[in-house]
Amino acid sequence: MLSERELAFIAIHKDSYPSVFRFVRRRVESAEMAEEIAADVFRVMWQKWSDDARPDLAYLLTVARNLVGNAYRSRDRQQALQEKLRTTAVQRFGDDSENVAVQDAMDRLRAQDRDILQLAYWDGLGTTDIARVLQCSESAAKVRLHRARTAFRKQMPAGAEPTTQKMGV
């Protein structure tokens, strides 16, 4: 049996989710990111909700605006890091080196693929540890790593065969 608070949460979610999702979707690049942020809005609401007042749409949209801002700042930090890594590779190995090609290929990957490859090659983790970091099963980590490697190979220029050592640029 659900508590009164849980029933109220379900009602608020049912009534407000479409508006929150539309609000977030207009501000982010992808529907996937909008879904994730919209879900986080309701997680925050649940965690901070006191029984004194029922959260209204204005409160939810304020939380959404803050989470969108956090997502943009995170994306900007990630892009700055990727640019710094590429600049370092160019400085160390020259503009036409395979190391720069690796960095460019990594930059074109989805964030999830880039993250798992970095865990495997830069941080030296095996699939068991990767699964723990990503909070998934070991078989799921193996599948994700395989898919990320495939995506990486597709991003590399024709004829380039990076070694795992070169991925540590």
CA pair distance 118, 110, nearest whole angstrom: 12
CA pair distance 92, 151, nearest whole angstrom: 26
Q: What domains lie within the chain, and their CATH numbers?
A: 1-84 (1.10.1740), 96-159 (1.10.10.10)
Which of 132, 88, 127 has its CA nearest to residue 106?
A: 88
pLDDT in tens, 118-154: 899 988 999 999 999 999 999 999 999 999 999 999 9
Give the pTM: 0.57
How long a stretch of residues is the chain? 169
Q: Which two tokens stand for residue 47?
A: 């965690």
pLDDT in tens, 69-122: 999 998 888 778 777 877 777 777 666 667 777 877 888 888 889 989 989 998
pLDDT in tens, 16-37: 999 999 999 999 988 999 999 9
